Amino acid sequence: MSSAPTTVAVIDNGICNLRSVTKALEAVGVSPRVVHTPEEIAASGAAGLVLPGVGALRDCVAALRAAKLDATVRDWIAADRPFLGVCLGMQALFEHSEEGNVTGLGIFPGQVVRFQRPPEFKIPHMGWNTVRFVQPRSPLATGLKPEGEAFYFVHSFYCAPADPALVLAECDYGGPFTAAIARGRCFATQFHPEKSQAKGLQIYRNFAAVAAKR
């Protein structure tokens, strides 16, 4: 008799590509539950929490605070429950962003800064680029080549963690930048796994495996 699929809550902050994210989770055997409030997260019984986001960080953080989800995300990560931030969902975890002078959730020390690159490097950084895993034993990197896998990016700002030990993966675009972070069972990616075909699905599969281990 097969067990029920793992439930993962996906925060709808009004500025995320929910359909792509939930479809990717379904493709790896997860039951995604779209949530809008702390009460919905609690009622979902979710083993994992995903915070996606596209667009402006100010809108993302404002939506989280308005719904009182900022405290929920902090408490979830503090309890070392499985968490995955995607794009803005990664940037929101830091203290401050140069994009609109925004104060983030402050879960991790560090800044979100704008790319300063030579003219031949177009901003935003958009399209496929190689990601190198500097923590190859991380559960999020299972089944992926440490020396490089291609993922899809769309961003003008990137995270600069104060603690180098937080960096899970790096990418190069006129210079290295942080492409993913990890601490305990908290993970976040600047790239979009849901837009990154088979390798992106592997990221969601790996996160689902972490969430399934209660």
Write the pLDDT tens digit of every residue in 86-129.
999 999 999 999 998 999 999 999 999 999 999 999 999 999 99
pLDDT tens digits, residue range 159-205? 999 999 999 999 999 999 999 999 999 999 999 999 999 999 999 99
pLDDT-derived band at 1 (thresholds 50, 70, 90) equals very low
pLDDT-derived band at 16 (thresholds 50, 70, 90) equals confident
Residue 37 pLDDT exceeds 60? yes
The predicted pLDDT at position 56 comes to 86
Instruction: Please tell me which residue in 87, 159, 171, 186 is annotated as part of the active site.
Output: 87
In a domain, 36, yes or no: yes
**Rounded distance, CA 11 to CA 50, Å?**
6
Q: 87 catalytic, yes or no?
A: yes
In a domain, 192, yes or no: yes
The tally of domains found in the chain comes to 1
Query: Which CATH number is 123's domain given?
Result: 3.40.50.880
- Residue 137's domain spans which residues? 7-212
Q: 60 catalytic, yes or no?
A: no
In a domain, 1, yes or no: no
Which residues have C-beta within 8 Å of that of residue 131, sequence separation ≥ 6? Answer: 148, 149, 150, 151, 169, 170, 171, 179, 180, 191
Q: Determine the 3-state secondary structure of 205 from DSSP.
A: helix
pLDDT-derived band at 17 (thresholds 50, 70, 90) equals confident
Instruction: Please tell me which residue in 16, 155, 171, 192 is annotated as part of the active site.
Output: 192
In a domain, 121, yes or no: yes
Pairing of strands 108-114, 157-161: antiparallel
Q: 171 catalytic, yes or no?
A: no
In a domain, 57, yes or no: yes
In a domain, 108, yes or no: yes
In a domain, 2, yes or no: no
